[in-house]
Amino acid sequence: MLVNQFLFLSALLFCIGVYGVIARKNAVLVLMSIELILNAVNLNFVAFALRNGSADGHTFALYIIAIAAAEVGVGLGLVLLIFRNRRTISLDDLSEMKG
Amino acid sequence: MVAQNIGFAIIAAAMVVGALRVVTTTNVVHAALWLVVVLSGAAAQYILLAAEFIAVTQVLVYIGAVMVLFLFGTMLTRSRIGTDSGLNNSYAKLGIPVAMVLFAAMSLALADSFGTEELPTDSSLINTQQISDQIFGPYLLPFWALSFVLLAAVIGAIVLARKD
């Protein structure tokens, strides 16, 4: 197996995730795209761990999984709060900071 | 080697199709279910990369916990369960060139740096004991910080979502 086949898959997933963050308006779908990006990064870490024969990449991948779980918990809490106050989770409607 | 490459190709194709459906589908619940395809594909790739502990953690945390959170979020925010046309921005088309340019830049860099370098096949594999030695050895302080982050996130999520 080449190193590059995993890295290319990871780059492709990362770019799809970036497209999702740009294109989506629904806050839950933006969070899902962020999960895609974090998974792409994890794939890179594990591929490089095998290439270098070091467990550091695995450790970082585990930490990223834990941070992603915390991020989704807080993110969905925020989305619920926004929905309760605004009755919408469309990110285009949250434009008070625009001036 | 050939069998591994065939397995990689099948799983990678499923992951890419799933990821594309996540960002293009018009149904929020379908997006969550396609995300399951991508996440389990990632777990399978970890097994191919001889990282079975990461693969099991991926299944437990992502497919077990995060997906349930996403489905709860979808239902509690009463996003329309059926088809919904208002999921994309007005400037969604702008994302396509951005993603393409990003991918082109990344592919150039990757092809330049790693070319046709093979993954080692006979090197000593990393086992779970080594990972735990890492976590409770040199990476103890980040682990500690991480547990505080998780605690703060749990309390914060309860405070945010509580009805008072």
What is the DSSP-derived secondary structure letter of residue B84?
-
ipTM: 0.90
Q: Is B131 at the interface with chain A, CB within 8 A?
A: yes
Break chain B into its structural domains and give their ranges.
1-82, 126-164
Angstrom distance (rounded) from CA B115 to CA B51: 23
| pLDDT of res. A6 | 93
Instruction: Please say whether the structural domain B1-82 has been given the CATH code 3.40.630.30.
Output: no
pLDDT given for residue B81 in this prediction: 64
The 3-state DSSP class for residue B101 equals helix
Q: Which of A20, A70, A27 is nearest to B147 (CA)?
A: A70
Q: What is the pLDDT of residue A83?
A: 87
Q: Do B54 and B46 contact (CB within 8 A), yes or no?
A: yes
The CATH architecture one would assign to domain A3-88 is Orthogonal Bundle (1.10)
Residues B98, A19: C-beta atoms closer than 8 Å: yes
Residue B164 has pLDDT above 70, yes or no: no
Q: Are A5 and B10 in contact (CB under 8 A)?
A: no
DSSP secondary structure letter of residue B62: I
- Three-state SS for A77-94 is HHHHHHHHHHCCCEHHHC
How many CB pairs (< 8 A) connect A and B?
259
pLDDT digits (tens, 9 = 90+) for A66-94: 999 999 989 988 888 888 888 878 887 78
Task: Tell me if B51 and A46 make a contact (CB, 8 A cut-off).
Answer: yes
Q: Is the pLDDT of residue A35 over 90?
A: yes
What's the rounded Cα separation, in Å, for the pair B147 and A33? 25
Q: How far apart are CA B34 and CA B17, in angstroms?
A: 9
The pLDDT of residue B72 is 86
- To the nearest whole Å, the CA of B10 is away from the closest chain A CA by 12
Alpha carbon distances (Å) from B96 to A15, A22, B100: 9, 9, 6
pLDDT in tens, B28-78: 889 999 999 999 999 999 999 988 999 999 999 999 999 998 988 888 876
For residues B74 and B63, is the Cβ–Cβ distance under 8 A? Answer: no
Q: Is-contact A76 B75, C-beta < 8 A?
A: no
Using CB atoms, pick whichever of A25, A35, A43 lies closest to residue B87.
A25
pLDDT tens digits for range B102-130: 999 999 999 998 888 888 876 667 888 98
- Record: contact A62-B54, CB cut-off 8 A: yes
Partners of A26 on chain B (C-beta within 8 Å) are 28, 79, 84, 86-87
